[in-house]
Amino acid sequence: MTVTPTSRSITNSVLSKEQAEGAGARVRRSIGRPELRNHDPFLMLDEFNVDKNGGFPDHPHRGFETVTYMLEGQFQHEDFAGHKGTIGPGDLQWMTAGRGIVHSEMPVKSQTRAHGLQLWINLPREHKMCEPQYQELLDGQIPRANPEEGVVVKVIAGESHGVKSQVYTRTPTMYLDFKVAKNKTVIQTIPKTYTGFIYMLKGTAFIGDKEFEGKAHHTLTFSEDGAETVKITTKDEDAHFVFIAGEPLKEPIVQHGPFVMNTTEDIYKTFVDYQYNQNGFERAKNWRSSIAG
């Protein structure tokens, strides 16, 4: 007799409400809102929609990682170290800000819309002041799992159905993009210590043994009961969603805008470093990006 493992359930469903962000940009934020302030190790999740007149001009980061995953259109990136590039539909940029980055993220002007997700992942104390690093993958470089006909999983980070990502995660993380045809059931394994969630992009999915109904633009957080699978079912329509989970750091979080440290003292030091262009922000002095002009 085959025993079906118990699935994690959904404990919270948060609608990502649209708000203004950056310069003329609109984002749907879930993690980072008062209803879901942090979901250790995750600090923020935005679904962004930016036209050619909007964007995210020059701004700093310290103490965490930003993961940008494009769905439609193209985004340009430029930082004070001379790194510059463009990512398009299905492409990924995994940026470890570490001790300091000042950068700009702007849509390609020829595009009518740039649409994607940006996730902020906290860094453990020992990595907060590491050197900045980028991991960039084009859509075709991201491996796929096909557990059955009608189910495609892009393995951005972590592992799914025997397929592993090449992305290195300082905070152990899995990031999976699921496209599931109607009338399918897929079981995704998850380490028992991980926290996690599903963010619905399109369609409807039913999660867990009790089939919690998940609809577009909702973040659905998993129970933390040690179960090592999540069951996801579709019925009369296709579904597109991301499945994100990670090892909670269980460290103090002191956040002030784009800076995330462990103590108020560290945040104060960060402001001083940024103001005086020191300890990681040396190259910020007099730097202005060319793409935000």
Q: If you average pLDDT over every residue of the chain, what do you get? A: 95
| pLDDT value at residue 2 | 58
Does 13 have pLDDT greater than 90?
Answer: yes
Residue with tokens 């002191």: 254
Indicate the pTM of the whole model: 0.96
| pLDDT value at residue 1 | 56
pLDDT band at 22 (very low <50, low <70, confident <90, very high): confident
Q: What percent of the chain has pLDDT over 70?
A: 98
The mean pLDDT value for 31-55 works out to 93
pLDDT band at 23 (very low <50, low <70, confident <90, very high): confident
Does 224 have pLDDT greater than 90?
Answer: yes
| pLDDT value at residue 290 | 93
Q: 11 Cβ partners below 8 Å, 6+ apart?
A: 221, 222, 223, 224
With CA atoms as reference, report the closest residue to 95 among 114, 123, 125. Answer: 123
Q: pLDDT tens digit string along 143-194?
A: 999 999 999 999 999 999 999 999 999 999 999 999 999 999 999 999 999 9
State both tokens at 229.
Answer: 């699978």
User: Is 83 labelled a binding residue?
Assistant: no
User: Is 105 labelled a binding residue?
Assistant: yes
Does 53 have pLDDT greater than 90?
Answer: no
Do the Cβ atoms of 157 and 167 come closer than 8 Å? yes
User: Is 61 labelled a binding residue?
Assistant: yes
Residue with tokens 């800000």: 97
Of 9-13, 112-116, 254-258, which range is least confident? 112-116
Q: Provide the edge-to-edge strand list for the sheet that holds 114-122.
A: 17-21, 25-29, 42-50, 114-122, 64-72, 92-96, 133-137
Does 3 have pLDDT greater than 70?
Answer: no
With CA atoms as reference, report the closest residue to 10 among 198, 250, 146. Answer: 198
The mean pLDDT value for 17-45 works out to 92
| pLDDT value at residue 55 | 92
Q: pLDDT tens digit string along 87-142?
A: 999 999 999 999 999 999 999 987 778 999 999 999 999 999 999 999 999 999 99
